[in-house]
Chain A
Amino acid sequence: MTATVSEAIATAIRTVLHDTGRSTSGVEPSMLLSSDLGLDSLDLAQTIVLLERSLGVDPFRAASGSRPSIRSVADLIMIYESAVNPT
């Protein structure tokens, strides 16, 4: 499942960058969403909608109260993995 979730996230981010006319390079788990990839809140919102389509979940809609901090691609992978495979 790890491969699927991280692939889906990389694909979504590449789509966001492509759709907004920015160059797409590799997306690595260690990358910071804002400083490395240049994603703003609109970009993140788009990423989440795209991921809801590819993975079938939106962990941010369900989250009530404190939202987990999402700074890196790895943070996203962790959040989606626990949403896709709740234990």
Chain B
Amino acid sequence: MTGPGFIDIHEALAPDRLALAIRETARRSPQEPAVVAAAGSSDRRSIDYAALAALVDRFEAAVLAAAPVGVVARARNVEALVAIAAACGSAGVPVALLADDARDLAGELREWAVVDDSLVLTASSLPHRRQDDGPPHVVVATSGTSGPPKFVQRTWDTVLAAARLADQWHGLGWLLVYDVTRWAGIQVWAQSLLTGGRLVVPASRDPDTVSRAIVEEQVAILPATPTLLRRLLTSGDARLLAQSKLARITLGGEAADGPLLDRAKAVFPGARISHVYATTELGEVFRVTDGRAGFPASWLGREMPGGIRLSTRRDGELLVQLSRDSADVATGDVVELRADRYEFTGRRSDVIVVGGAKVLPRRVEDLLRGVPGIAEARVYGQPSAITGELVAAEIVLVEPLPTNATPESIRAAALTTCRESLESHGVPRILDIVSRIKTTAAGKVSRRPVTVAP
């Protein structure tokens, strides 16, 4: 896509880039699908680059005419949302990507114009944007593994910073399993649209729907959290998945464990699996591509590409120094040395305190997932008046169950395994078999207790 006559989007200012890339692809390959929405279902619809560019043009004209201080995108359709984002960047107007939820608009957003799937900007008495208002930014809601989401401001530079624009990344099929308005999701659609790719949005996160979307739409790249990948591998249609053309799986948002990586390699032998370590504050810190859990122990204490240095606090929390003269940044992630690797054992904030003793839920989850017959596990703190908290867990069993196993025998084996490997306060006291574990909007394991049901 960098042939003669192609505009080099590197040269454009960041806010313009998305619209520029969409228009350029529309000019060269107008019928190329830009977005395949509701993929894997009978409601599937495909929007080509010409149609998407037309949406961008139309909305940019509307924004330029109305000149709002900012635009709040409350679109439900993916193509509408990305068109709004691209048009706002191009028009130099800030945009908040909030999708269709009932969240109240706080602070500056109250003065912004709101737009939905219709892409109609209603004329309003809201204040107008001034020439000297500065470069347009993007407002996104943070995922928040716990607590309510917060709004954060990002520059277009940071939105597009992680996008890979080299030729090898052009024209690929990207699966969007993340929420389209969350940071991880924005990265995926921005990457796809900047490189003339096909953004495939499954109709739901149901594993069979995702499997169909991957195969039917010939998805090449699957960015996902380990939790979402685990669900796909456990419950997705195995025969269908065997036909997939996946070339890459990019994991992020949570730590990936060894068994999951091995399983993914077995189901998708043709896919390269990488694991991105990033934090909200630092962005992408490093990427592990050797298909093993954690990262090489040798990375600690020496300068890595990009000038980054990793170290650990005494309690195992991973510290990142971005450059020689910057301070260490605490990541909140706890690592543990296992043979030649540092493996992630959990988030500091996820720690469950049982009678004063600390338990990292991830460690327990990893143990549970290693028990034959257990597909998924979630560990959380159950409030207790006696001990503060108790370790509680939910497990999802494999289907079909292993020969001679019963749900009760698997549950007993899980408790035995935990008793043999953990101190008594770390052994789950509540262990429920469920059909599906709770995940956050960002596709990560939820750490919240279940509401007690009789």
Other-chain contact of A45, B387, B419, B453, B454 (Cβ < 8 Å): B387
Other-chain contact of A21, B387, B415, B431 (Cβ < 8 Å): B415
Q: What are the residues of chain A within 8 A of B431 when measuring CB–CB?
A: 19
A1-47 residues with Cβ-Cβ distance < 8 A to B are 16, 19-21, 41-42, 44-46
Query: If A19-B431, A21-B416, A42-B354 touch, does A58 touch B385 (CB 8 Å cutoff)?
Result: yes
Query: If A19-B431, A45-B429, A46-B390 touch, does A53 touch B453 (CB 8 Å cutoff)?
Result: yes
B452, A53: Cβ atoms under 8 Å? yes
Bound complex: CA A56 to CA B452 (Å): 8
B386, A60: Cβ atoms under 8 Å? yes
B368 CB to closest chain A CB (Å) equals: 14
**How many of A's residues come within 8 Å of B, CB to CB?**
21
Bound complex: CA A36 to CA B424 (Å): 20
Please tell me if B425 contacts chain A, counting CB pairs below 8 Å.
yes
Given contacts A20-B415, A42-B390, A56-B454, 14 further A-B contacts (CB under 8 A): A19-B431, A21-B416, A41-B355, A41-B386, A41-B387, A42-B354, A42-B429, A45-B390, A46-B429, A48-B386, A49-B384, A50-B430, A60-B386, A61-B383
B385, A48: Cβ atoms under 8 Å? yes
Bound complex: CA A52 to CA B382 (Å): 12
Q: What are the residues of chain B within 8 A of A56 when measuring CB–CB?
A: 452, 454
* Number of cross-chain contacts by CB at 8 Å: 54
| A-B CB contact pairs (8 Å), 30 listed | A19-B415, A19-B429, A19-B431, A20-B415, A20-B427, A21-B415, A21-B416, A21-B419, A41-B355, A41-B387, A42-B355, A42-B387, A42-B424, A42-B429, A44-B386, A45-B386, A45-B387, A45-B390, A46-B430, A48-B385, A48-B386, A49-B384, A52-B452, A53-B452, A53-B453, A53-B454, A60-B386, A61-B385, A63-B385, A67-B385
Tell me the dominant secondary structure on chain A's binding face.
helix
**How many of B's residues come within 8 Å of A, CB to CB?**
22
A45, B384: Cβ atoms under 8 Å? yes
Bound complex: CA A16 to CA B392 (Å): 13
Bound complex: CA A21 to CA B429 (Å): 12
Bound complex: CA A48 to CA B429 (Å): 11
Sorted nearest first, the 8 A-B pairs with minimum C-beta distance are A60-B385, A45-B386, A46-B429, A45-B384, A45-B387, A61-B385, A45-B390, A41-B386
User: What is the interface of chain B, defined by CB distance below 8 A to chain A?
Assistant: 354-355, 382-387, 390, 392, 415-416, 419, 424-425, 427, 429-431, 452-454
A54 CB to closest chain B CB (Å) equals: 7
A77 CB to closest chain B CB (Å) equals: 18
Bound complex: CA A53 to CA B450 (Å): 11
Bound complex: CA A50 to CA B453 (Å): 11
A42, B425: Cβ atoms under 8 Å? yes
